[in-house]
């Protein structure tokens, strides 16, 4: 009974809080909820914990559903042949250790970020790169993301491994999402869509609760392209204006039945029950780290004053 | 010389053609002048032709699906569905009564002789499970791939002294021309006795152990012998030492010649008719007029016993019994492997390791939980500035 109720809240929470930071608890008839909010006058983000009641009366901590989007690298690779619970647990411990040293902020594809890396060949020994995140992937300590920018009319993409100890600092200059999960089409787009000033300042957002979705539609350069964008169902590109035969071939080659293939999607994702367990394990430590950072920042701003 | 020698793609092979002519001349000469001395090499005309002599043991059977004949039957063959629920409960109670009151074994309980370690000592190995691969970074920022090995609950089942072991089937083969060594039988992964046969369980009854899913033999020198019921843990190894890991490689099944032997196959296009991933020629046609043994062809690939030698241990987690080893080991994830001290001469022990094995300190002080090699970057420490 509890499991079903908890799962229902989890899934409904997923649907509702897809863009919202604050998970609004939905009341169920049998289970009572308590939201514990840590608010902050600096207008910084806060994370809520849902505590659901157990049958015996003990509280069971359930991490908010948006953890799945904020920290996707904590979820392991779904391929069953190579999964081992003990190894995943140890990897998560190592990831939390690394996160205690450096702040790896929440970001999505489409956010503009700046990464400072220790580089022996640089004049200052540190290399800073600013770019838009066009793709992110990997799980565990292998998690990576690609930043793209156009520097002196040359497109540059750099793949960073999130947990590499050479990384000194990761800043999110503009936190937003785009209409697609992968922005690889920026390679074929006009260069202005990938250009960001290297000395860009971090932008403060008006509404801290919601991660905005930028509904920008990007204009592509004339063909030839690196990929067949007409076959990929992209939302963030302007009308491609191709001859009809391209769209006909795309229809011929398309696999419309895949959206009904439940097993395919099941195999590609970690089940909700497991996700709950994983994030519950990891949540308290992440919250502690958040609090420590806030304290440090507050102390730092107090010292300045 | 009527036959045209061509190579795989149908082009006339001029080089071979020349040698054929040369051979024809020699053959003719020999027929006419029998006193002509010609040094034949062991392969006849093989030296003149671009054919590598295969000297592998290709006729030795490398894989079996059954255990050796001297093993007892292991898994329970009985059909248990007809047992009533009451009887099932009774069976469970019997098992519990038999194996309860097993307290963890301390070093002081076992009577281990105080033996001295010397560089020629061969210590016991350990049975572990390969649970995956994790990336770690060295202090200069270089990424290394480390295999995570989970040392299962190993216990020594029995020790066979050298004189006795030399008389066994394997012992006679192994110690034909050398001094015999002892054998330690180690078991890992305790399981419910229900699933095994009585004969298999009796192997463990003498020492009072729960039957183990996996058994292995480790060849040891007599001074590294261990009494039965000795636990072997991750602390048996030392940080920075080199180990050899033995396992069964990934089973690829029946594979073609391109994947199995790395052949190039044929062109994908340009008119190639039904020749893309095939082997091509398998013989010369003239010399020996047969296919040489060991000719590389499609067949079963993988599932073979292999050693990866000289892998360095970079991290040990004493709490979870985990060893991180730099490099990869044979076999897929979640497969069982055996870990030994290395035999490579330059990476052997110079100082004494935990001999004959490691025991946690008696005074209750816990050992350091997570031990890292000095070359590795610890995750909790500050970022690297090169």
Strand (E) positions, chain B? 126-137, 143-151, 154-160, 182-190, 212-220, 231-232, 242-248, 253-255, 299-301, 305-317, 322-326, 335-341, 370-372
Tell me if chain B has a CB within 8 Å of the CB of A299: no
* A195 Cβ neighbours under 8 A, 6+ residues apart: A149, A150
CB A177, CB A20: distance < 8 Å: no
Give B193→chain A minimum CA distance, Å.
Answer: 25
Write out pLDDT tens, residues B223-240.
Answer: 999 998 899 999 999 999
Q: Is residue B37 part of a domain?
A: no
Q: Is residue B8 part of a domain?
A: no
Query: What's the CATH code of the domain at B240?
Result: 2.40.30.10
The pLDDT assigned to B107 comes to: 56
The pLDDT assigned to A265 comes to: 94
Neighbours of A58 (CB within 10 A): 7
* B350 Cβ neighbours under 8 A, 6+ residues apart: B119
Q: In whole angstroms, what is the distance from residue A13 CA to residue A26 CA?
A: 8
Q: Which residue in B141, B320, B382 is closest to A90 by CB distance?
A: B320
Q: Is residue B172 part of a domain?
A: yes
Write out pLDDT tens, residues A270-279.
Answer: 999 999 999 9
| A97/B380 Cβ within 8 A | yes
Please tell me what DSSP assigns to residue A182. -
Q: Is residue A175 part of a domain?
A: yes
Q: What percent of chain A has pLDDT over 70?
A: 79
Contacts of A164 in chain B (CB under 8 A): 137, 141, 143
The pLDDT assigned to B217 comes to: 94
The pLDDT assigned to B253 comes to: 93
Give the tokens for residue B72: 């007892």
| Number of separate domains in chain A | 1
Q: Which residue in B132, B333, B383 is closest to A165 by CB distance?
A: B383
CB A49, CB A36: distance < 8 Å: yes
Residue range(s) defining the domain that contains residue B221: 109-254+299-372
Q: Is residue B292 part of a domain?
A: no
Tell me if chain B has a CB within 8 Å of the CB of A118: yes
Contacts of B132 in chain A (CB under 8 A): 82, 84, 87
CA closest to B143 among chain A residues: A164
Q: Is residue B140 part of a domain?
A: yes
The pLDDT assigned to B109 comes to: 64
Q: Is residue A156 part of a domain?
A: yes
Tell me if chain A has a CB within 8 Å of the CB of B252: no
Q: Is residue A50 part of a domain?
A: no
The pLDDT assigned to B290 comes to: 83
Task: Tell me the average pLDDT of chain A.
Answer: 83
B374 pLDDT exceeds 90?
yes
Q: Is residue A165 part of a domain?
A: yes
Query: What's the CATH code of the domain at A258?
Result: 2.30.30.790
Backbone angles phi, psi at B384, to 5 degrees: -80, 130
ipTM confidence score: 0.79
Q: What percent of chain A has pLDDT over 90?
A: 68
Give the tokens for residue A48: 């809520």
| pLDDT interval class at B156 (50, 70, 90) | very high
Give the tokens for residue A207: 């509404």
Write out pLDDT tens, residues A66-90.
Answer: 889 999 999 999 999 999 999 999 9
> What's the number of CA atoms in the CB half-sphere (13 Å) around residue B356?
24
B44 pLDDT exceeds 70?
no
Task: Tell me the average pLDDT of chain B.
Answer: 82
Look-up of token digits 């011929």: A252
Chain centre distance of CA A182: 12
CA closest to B333 among chain A residues: A82
| B317/A90 Cβ within 8 A | yes
A121 pLDDT exceeds 70?
yes
* B80 Cβ neighbours under 8 A, 6+ residues apart: B194
| A118/B320 Cβ within 8 A | no
The pLDDT assigned to B55 comes to: 55
Is residue A283 reached through a cis peptide bond, with omega within 30 degrees of 0 on the bond before it? no
Is residue A224 reached through a cis peptide bond, with omega within 30 degrees of 0 on the bond before it? yes
The pLDDT assigned to A32 comes to: 34
| pLDDT interval class at B286 (50, 70, 90) | confident
User: Rounded mean pLDDT of B190-213?
Assistant: 89
Give the tokens for residue A20: 């919202």
Tell me if chain A has a CB within 8 Å of the CB of B148: yes
Residue range(s) defining the domain that contains residue A220: 66-285
Q: Is residue B44 part of a domain?
A: no
Q: Is residue A31 part of a domain?
A: no
Q: Is residue B4 part of a domain?
A: no
| Number of separate domains in chain B | 1
The pLDDT assigned to A2 comes to: 46
Write out pLDDT tens, residues A6-39.
Answer: 455 455 544 444 444 433 333 333 333 333 333 3
A257 pLDDT exceeds 90?
yes
User: Rounded mean pLDDT of B209-222?
Assistant: 93
Q: Is residue A157 part of a domain?
A: yes
Tell me if chain A has a CB within 8 Å of the CB of B146: no
Q: In whole angstroms, what is the distance from residue A87 CA to residue A193 CA?
A: 41
Q: Is residue A272 part of a domain?
A: yes
Write out pLDDT tens, residues B244-267.
Answer: 999 999 999 999 999 999 999 899
Q: In whole angstroms, what is the distance from residue B231 CA to residue B225 CA?
A: 13
Please tell me what DSSP assigns to residue A115. E
The pLDDT assigned to B91 comes to: 86
CA closest to A86 among chain B residues: B131
Picking from A228, A147, A146, the residue whose alpha carbon sits closest to that of residue A185 is A228
Tell me if chain A has a CB within 8 Å of the CB of B369: no
| B131/A164 Cβ within 8 A | no
User: Rounded mean pLDDT of A231-260?
Assistant: 95
B32 pLDDT exceeds 60?
no
Look-up of token digits 């946690």: B360
* Distance in Å from the first CA to the final CA of chain B: 70
Q: Is residue B211 part of a domain?
A: yes
Look-up of token digits 């000297």: B55
B108 pLDDT exceeds 70?
no
């Amino acid at each position: 009974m509890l499991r079903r109720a908890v799962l229902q809240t989890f899934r409904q929470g997923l649907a509702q809080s897809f863009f919202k930071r604050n998970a609004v608890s939905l009341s169920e008839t049998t289970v009572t909820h308590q939201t514990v909010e840590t608010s902050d006058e600096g207008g910084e983000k806060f994370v809520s914990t849902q505590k659901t009641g157990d049958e015996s009366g003990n509280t069971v901590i359930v991490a908010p559903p948006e953890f799945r989007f904020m920290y996707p690298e904590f979820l392991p690779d779904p391929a069953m042949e190579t999964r081992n619970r003990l190894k995943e647990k140890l990897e998560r411990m190592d990831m939390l250790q690394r996160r205690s040293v450096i702040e790896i902020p929440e970001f999505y594809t489409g956010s503009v970020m700046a990464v400072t890396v220790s580089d022996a060949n640089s004049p200052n020994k540190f290399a800073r790169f600013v770019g838009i995140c066009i793709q992110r992937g990997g799980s565990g300590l292998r998690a990576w993301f690609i930043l793209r920018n156009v520097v002196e009319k040359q497109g540059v993409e750099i793949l960073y491994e999130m947990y590499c100890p050479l990384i000194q600092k990761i800043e999110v200059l503009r936190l937003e999402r785009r209409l697609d999960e992968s922005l690889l089409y920026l390679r074929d787009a006009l260069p202005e869509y990938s250009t960001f000033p290297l000395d860009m300042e971090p932008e403060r957002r008006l509404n801290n609760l919601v991660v905005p979705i930028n509904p920008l539609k990007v204009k592509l350069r004339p063909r030839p392209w690196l990929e067949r964008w007409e076959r990929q169902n992209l939302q963030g590109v302007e009308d491609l204006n191709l001859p009809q035969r391209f769209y006909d071939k795309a229809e011929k080659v398309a696999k419309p039945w895949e959206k009904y293939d439940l097993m395919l999607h099941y195999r590609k994702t970690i089940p909700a029950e497991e996700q709950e367990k994983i994030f519950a394990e990891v949540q308290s430590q992440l919250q502690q780290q958040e609090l420590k950072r806030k304290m440090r920042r507050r102390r730092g701003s107090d010292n300045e004053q | 010389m009527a036959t045209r020698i061509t190579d795989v793609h149908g082009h006339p092979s001029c080089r071979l053609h020349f040698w054929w002519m040369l051979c024809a001349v020699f053959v003719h000469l020999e027929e006419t002048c029998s006193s002509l001395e010609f040094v034949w090499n062991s392969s006849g005309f093989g030296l003149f032709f671009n054919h590598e002599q295969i000297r592998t043991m290709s006729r030795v059977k490398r894989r079996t699906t059954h255990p050796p004949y001297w093993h007892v039957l292991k898994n329970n063959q009985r059909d248990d569905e007809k047992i009533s629920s009451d009887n099932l409960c009774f069976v469970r109670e019997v098992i519990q009564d038999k194996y309860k009151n097993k307290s963890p074994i301390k070093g002081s309980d076992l009577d281990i002789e105080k033996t001295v370690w010397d560089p020629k000592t061969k210590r016991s190995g350990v049975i572990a499970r390969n649970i995956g691969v994790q990336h770690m970074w060295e202090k200069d920022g270089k990424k290394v791939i480390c295999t995570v090995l989970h040392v299962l609950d190993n216990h020594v089942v029995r020790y066979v002294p050298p004189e006795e072991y030399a008389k066994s089937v394997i012992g006679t083969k192994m110690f034909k021309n050398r001094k015999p060594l002892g054998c330690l039988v180690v078991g890992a992964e305790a399981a419910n006795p229900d699933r095994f046969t009585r004969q298999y369980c009796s192997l463990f009854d003498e020492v009072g152990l729960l039957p183990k899913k996996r058994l292995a033999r480790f060849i040891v020198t007599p001074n590294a012998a261990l009494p039965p019921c000795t636990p072997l843990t991750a602390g048996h190894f030392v940080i920075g030492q080199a180990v050899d890991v033995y396992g069964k490689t990934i089973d690829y099944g029946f594979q073609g010649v391109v994947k199995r032997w790395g052949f190039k196959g044929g062109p994908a296009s340009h008119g190639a008719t039904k020749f893309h991933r095939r082997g091509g020629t398998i013989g010369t046609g003239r010399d020996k007029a047969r296919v040489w043994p060991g000719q590389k062809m499609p067949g079963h690939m993988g599932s073979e016993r292999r050693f990866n030698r000289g892998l360095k241990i970079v991290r040990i987690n004493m709490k979870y019994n985990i060893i991180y080893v730099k490099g990869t080991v044979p076999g897929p994830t979640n497969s069982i492997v055996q870990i030994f001290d290395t035999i490579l001469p330059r990476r052997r022990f110079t100082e004494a390791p935990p001999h004959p094995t490691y025991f946690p300190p008696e005074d209750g002080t816990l050992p350091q939980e997570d031990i890292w090699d000095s070359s590795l970057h610890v995750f909790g420490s500050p970022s690297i500035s090169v």
